[in-house]
């Protein structure tokens, strides 16, 4: 299991537009990824409803995780997206 703990960089948290950006990036990663609040149960990071259901706020810590063999790079990219509150995930990240 590979994990990344990251603080949500979007001021509004993982709601509406930021959640959509994150879910698209998680789906595009090609590996199964879960997301959870630091003290919560993990949910599918590729599910818009699941991500919205977390209610993660800006400045709150979340945990990204995957059991896939090639998950390191994907989790690094997703962590950067969340931490920096990016509008999209650059191809060069």
Catalytic residue among 9, 15, 27, 85: 15
Per DSSP bridges, beta strands 43-44 and 61-66 are: unpaired
Number of independent structural domains in the chain = 1
Read off the pLDDT of residues 53-78 as tens digits, 9 standing for 90 and up: 999 999 999 999 999 998 999 999 99
Is there a catalytic annotation at residue 15? yes
Per-residue pLDDT at 48 exceeds 60: yes
Give a yes or no: residue 90 inside a domain.
no
Length of the chain: 93
Residue 11: which domain range? 2-84
pLDDT band of 92, cuts 50, 70, 90: very low
Q: At 52, which CATH number?
A: 3.30.1340.10
Give a yes or no: residue 89 inside a domain.
no
Give a yes or no: residue 39 inside a domain.
yes
Give a yes or no: residue 78 inside a domain.
yes
Over pLDDT 90: what percentage of the chain? 86
Bridge partners (DSSP) listed for residue 28 = none
């Amino acid at each position: 299991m590979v994990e990344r703990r990251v603080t949500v960089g979007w001021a509004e948290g993982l709601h509406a537009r930021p959640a959509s950006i994150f879910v698209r990036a998680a789906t595009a990663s090609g590996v199964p990824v879960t997301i959870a609040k630091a003290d919560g149960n993990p949910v599918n990071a590729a599910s818009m409803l699941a991500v919205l259901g977390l209610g993660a706020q800006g400045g709150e810590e979340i945990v990204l995780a995957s059991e896939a063999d090639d998950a390191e790079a994907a989790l690094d990219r997703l962590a950067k997206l969340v931490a920096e509150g990016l509008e999209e995930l650059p191809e060069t990240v």
